[in-house]
Homo-oligomer: A and B are copies of this chain.
């Protein structure tokens, strides 16, 4: 019995579908995570490009949009164990170029930019409560890295009772092995894995009906 069959027999791999109201969550699409010479990989640049029209669509529909950045205080006051272990994170301060959202996806108007210091976009931020206040029941996750902050965010999203969708071509990693392994885990246990165009066509038909 292969791995897929084991999971299937034990009742994993179900989907939860798309609910009434989606939020687009873009995890850590910042300069340093896109640059393969810093914390990124070429795969992440592709994910950025794939996200551009998705963001435009969410804007056109007026749906909630949130970005995340890792931001530590330049004076070291909020350093935590995670940044002690992964020292490169300490350079991601409010004004650092590396911690700015990439220009292709620059936040507009009233889009919320969540400052975070952990892996999950939900950890010690008000994201779950904010989503609730926006009447969101479905979180569409893009960003990087698949095996890091995306995975951590997805686990928390489902724990907070949000239907969770990961767009396989809008998430990226610094290496493909962990990317694929984490898409497998998330699909089996936590999230529906769709392509960007699958989601867009689903939402287009719905939004078309409502406008």
* Interface residue ranges, A against B (CB under 8 Å): 3, 6-7, 10-12, 14-16, 38-39, 41, 73, 75-78, 80-82, 84-88, 109-113, 117-120, 123-126, 128-130, 132-133, 135, 137, 147-148, 151-152, 155-156, 158-163, 174-178, 181-182, 184-185, 189-190
Chain A to chain B contacts (Cβ below 8 Å), 10 pairs:
A6-B41, A6-B174, A7-B174, A12-B86, A16-B85, A81-B133, A120-B155, A132-B132, A133-B161, A178-B185
Task: Tell me whether B129 and A161 are in contact (CB under 8 A).
Answer: yes
Partner of A159, one of B82, B159, B190: B82
Shortest 6 CB-CB contacts between residues of A and residues of B:
A181-B181, A77-B112, A124-B126, A133-B161, A118-B159, A3-B175
Number of this chain's copies in the assembly equals 4
Tell me, rounded to whole Å, the shortest Cβ–Cβ distance linking A44 to chain B.
Answer: 12
> Nearest CB to that of A66 among chain B residues?
B77
Task: Tell me whether A81 and B128 are in contact (CB under 8 A).
Answer: no
Residues of B within 8 A of A123 (CB): 156, 159
